[in-house]
């Protein structure tokens, strides 16, 4: 079997048609000197040139970054290769179908040894549910939808998923709702999936069926033009995957974005392989997921992942008894 990672130095190597099912990365000194038909063959494009245009990622030392990516792929080859395969296919699919392909890949990885090993090493957590995990408030034609579990950084559990689906179904059913503001209460917009529920589904096939039939991502795709997501604090996993569907995304200066799923033997499964590429391209999405890098509000604005950096929100709620470590994706777990 071929190695799961290939790095091509476009300054030294004559471009050739990369082949094989693996993560394909390239480095170059001047992105403008690389023909588009060459760059499109790669999953990640790295350069030391500052403020490189999409799809390139600027970094201080592209070779060190490439070594980090190679180490990640070596530790999690199935998830890493599945990620870039899903991202490559996505461009040729209708938006709803991208979610189906993502879910199928996620379900496959969910049954894998890598995820099971991560799950066995995770610290058990007790469920801390909310009576009202999503709050709604309407004024005129504007509806505020607020994730309301601040004590766990608005971690996504099944109840939150279902409540958000109900809110979005209301938006789709009521043409008098012209604007939707999506907020997170407390110190963070959304810290990811709820560790208390994560891995509880032992039937990946059934989990896939639930994901595609009870999907906030699919509903957001349909009403995106009405939605503004207001990010602050941690936006991890589902926190950024769902928000990126919104027609407009704002971020407070303290916003930190991260996709940690590869490190768990998974890939983004709350719609991130569909929503994030639409904003930043599949190459930068692959880099964000494979590197696990923390993206600041300023960097996210530069990439186009958020549309505007705004003042920090006031009155974000009670921040006492906040649980740490919620940095995981959200879906049928």
Question: What is the reported pTM?
Answer: 0.92
| pLDDT tens-digit readout, 275-322 | 999 999 999 999 999 999 999 999 999 999 999 999 977 644 433 333
pLDDT at site 323: 43
pLDDT at site 197: 78
pLDDT at site 14: 66
Map out the domains of the chain as residue ranges.
5-75, 102-309
Instruction: Count the Cβ atoms, other than its own, within 10 Å of residue 58.
Output: 17
Peptide bond into 95 cis (omega under 30): no
CA distance 110 to 116: 8
pLDDT at site 125: 82
pLDDT at site 331: 41
CATH-assigned architecture of domain 102-309: Alpha-Beta Complex (3.90)
pLDDT at site 17: 63
Instruction: Count the Cβ atoms, other than its own, within 10 Å of residue 128.
Output: 14
| pLDDT tens-digit readout, 29-72 | 999 999 999 999 999 999 999 999 999 999 999 999 999 999 99
Selection from 312, 185, 191 nearest residue 250 by Cα = 312
CB-based contacts of 30, cutoff 8 Å, min separation 6: 47, 49
DSSP, res 46: E
Q: Mean pLDDT of successive 10-residue segments in the chain (333 residues)?
A: 91 72 95 92 96 96 98 98 97 96 96 93 87 97 98 94 98 98 97 80 88 96 98 97 98 97 95 98 98 97 98 54 41 42
């Amino acid at each position: 079997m071929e190695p799961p990672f290939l790095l091509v130095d476009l300054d030294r190597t004559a471009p050739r048609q990369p082949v094989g099912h693996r993560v394909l990365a390239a480095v170059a000194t001047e992105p403008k000197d690389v023909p588009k038909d060459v760059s499109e063959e790669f999953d990640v494009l790295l350069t030391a040139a500052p403020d490189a245009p999409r799809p390139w990622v600027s970094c201080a030392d592209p070779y060190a970054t490439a070594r980090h990516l190679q180490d990640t792929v070596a530790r999690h080859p199935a998830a890493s290769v599945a990620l870039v395969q899903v991202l490559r296919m996505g461009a040729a699919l209708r938006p709803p179908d991208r979610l189906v392909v993502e879910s199928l890949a996620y379900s496959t990885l969910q049954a894998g040894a890598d995820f099971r090993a991560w799950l066995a090493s995770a610290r058990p957590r007790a469920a801390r549910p909310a009576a009202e995990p999503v709050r709604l408030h309407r004024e005129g034609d504007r509806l505020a939808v607020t994730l309301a579990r601040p004590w766990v950084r608005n971690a996504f559990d099944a109840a939150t998923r279902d409540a958000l689906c109900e809110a979005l179904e209301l938006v789709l059913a009521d043409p008098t709702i012209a604007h939707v503001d999506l907020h997170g209460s407390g110190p963070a917009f959304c810290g990811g999936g709820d560790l208390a529920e994560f891995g509880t589904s032992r039937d990946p096939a059934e989990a896939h069926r639930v994901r595609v039939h009870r999907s906030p991502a699919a509903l957001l795709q349909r009403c995106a033009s009405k939605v503004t997501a207001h990010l602050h604090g941690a936006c991890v996993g589902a926190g950024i995957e769902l928000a990126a569907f919104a027609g407009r995304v704002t971020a407070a200066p303290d916003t930190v974005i991260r996709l940690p799923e590869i490190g768990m033997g998974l890939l983004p499964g709350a719609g991130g392989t569909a929503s994030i590429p639409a904003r930043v391209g599949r190459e930068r999405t692959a880099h964000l997921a494979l590197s696990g890098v923390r993206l600041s509000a300023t960097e996210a604005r530069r990439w186009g992942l958020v549309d505007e950096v705004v003042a920090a929100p006031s009155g974000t709620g009670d921040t006492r008894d906040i649980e740490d470590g919620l940095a995981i994706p959200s879906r049928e777990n």
